[in-house]
Amino acid sequence: MTSLADLQTPALIVDLDAFDHNVATMAAALPGERLRPHVKAHKSTAIATRQRDAGHRGFTCATIREVEGMAAAGLGEDLMLANEVADARRLGAVVEAGARVTLAVDSKATIEAAAAGGVREVVIDVNVGLPRCGCPPEEAGRLADLARARGLEVRGVMGYEGHAVGVDVEATRAEMTRQSMELLVAAAAAVGGELISAGGTGTYALNTWATEIQAGSYVLMDTAYAKLGLPFRQALTVLSIVISVTPGSWAVADCGLKALGMDHGNPSIDGADVWFCSDEHVTFGAAALPAVGDRIRVVPAHVDPTVAYHDRLHVVHGDEIVDTWPVDLRGW
């Protein structure tokens, strides 16, 4: 097996100890079906398999491709596509092949798409404060009636407090979550069904109203979530090699815009000050600059769009590569 020193850079590295800690910590806090791990953060059935082995049998997906890939990997016991689609025929084919697929709907048009595409089970997606998908809370009951009239099984509601999950101050995050979940619980009463699906890594311990939490980032982590003081360790880094040094000023490593999700800003490098990223470069200053050929670790600001640029995760224990996990759920 390739050693860490021989890997072509930039390369995604998963620290196995940190990863195992994160999976175990979350499974202790939210055991079994209290967690519906979101696969969008890692897009890897190898990681999802480890989450299942930790006791979680239902999963959350963001794309049709993620649903298809999870089902094909034998992880289709209870898949929720927590997103609306305008054409559900590929999902209907997954159901036909034997997987359980529950689709989010928030309008007459998406209910119609679900039924026409061969999906049998839905949740009513409720807007709980983030201006994105989800119906107004007061319309949830009416949509549930509409879905049932169209022959769909309504399993309950989902509502993502995405405006709260990244808020630094825990008390504020908790209060925003409470307000959102009051809306969702009221909608759930109007909708019926058993599921109240919500939450993310930032609110997994604060959201006590949801019956299940859709967290995903916790397994790998990033600098944005690291600021919240959660009990999860940074398991993901990008291995990069220094290719240019201007003595006394700055250094450049080969990890740039095509290896990093940039919507949350620049990545971090331990002991260095990141100046900017270019397509294939990160320029940084440091009190002690490295030398050309040195290998460094770059910590992404946002895990999800970072992983989506790569086709595999190299799993390390210390300096030894012990496994390679394909990022096999990319694309749409």
Contact footprint for its own copies (CB under 8 A):
8-11, 40, 62-64, 83-87, 106-107, 109-110, 113, 127, 131-134, 136, 162, 241-246, 249-250, 252, 254, 257-258, 261-263, 275, 277-281, 283, 291-293, 302, 304-305, 308-309, 311, 331-332
In the complex, the smallest distance separating the C-beta of residue 9 from its own copies, rounded to whole angstroms, is 7
Return the exposure string of 46-83: e unless at least 16 CB atoms fall within 10 Å of the residue's CB, then b. Answer: bbbebbbebebebbbbbbbbbbbbbbebebbebbbbbb
* Token reading at 116: 């026409």
Asked if residue 90 lies in contact with residue 61, where contact means CB atoms within 8 angstroms, the answer is no
Closer residue to its own copies in complex, CB, 135/315: 135
Closer residue to its own copies in complex, CB, 8/229: 8
In the complex, the smallest distance separating the C-beta of residue 166 from its own copies, rounded to whole angstroms, is 12
Closer residue to its own copies in complex, CB, 156/256: 256
Return the SS3 of 22: helix
Please state the φ and ψ torsions of residue 101, each to the nearest 5 degrees: -125, 125
In the complex, the smallest distance separating the C-beta of residue 249 from its own copies, rounded to whole angstroms, is 7
DSSP string, 46-103: HHHHHHHHTT---EEESSHHHHHHHHHTT--SSEEE-S--S--HHHHHHHHTT--EEE
Question: Hey, how many other C-beta atoms are within 10 angstroms of the C-beta on 273?
Answer: 12
- Chain mean position to CA 243: 32
Closer residue to its own copies in complex, CB, 127/237: 127
Q: Please compute Rg for the chain using Cα positions.
A: 21
In the complex, the smallest distance separating the C-beta of residue 229 from its own copies, rounded to whole angstroms, is 23
How open is the CA angle 253-254-259, to the nearest 5 degrees? 125
Closer residue to its own copies in complex, CB, 27/126: 126
In the complex, the smallest distance separating the C-beta of residue 315 from its own copies, rounded to whole angstroms, is 18
In the complex, the smallest distance separating the C-beta of residue 283 from its own copies, rounded to whole angstroms, is 5
In the complex, the smallest distance separating the C-beta of residue 17 from its own copies, rounded to whole angstroms, is 26
Asked if residue 177 lies in contact with residue 206, where contact means CB atoms within 8 angstroms, the answer is yes
* Token reading at 32: 């079994």
Please state the φ and ψ torsions of residue 301, each to the nearest 5 degrees: -75, -30
In the complex, the smallest distance separating the C-beta of residue 164 from its own copies, rounded to whole angstroms, is 14
Closer residue to its own copies in complex, CB, 8/194: 8
Closer residue to its own copies in complex, CB, 26/303: 303
Q: How far apart are the first and last CA of the chain?
A: 31
Integer Cα distance of 204 and 141 in angstroms: 26
Closer residue to its own copies in complex, CB, 107/211: 107
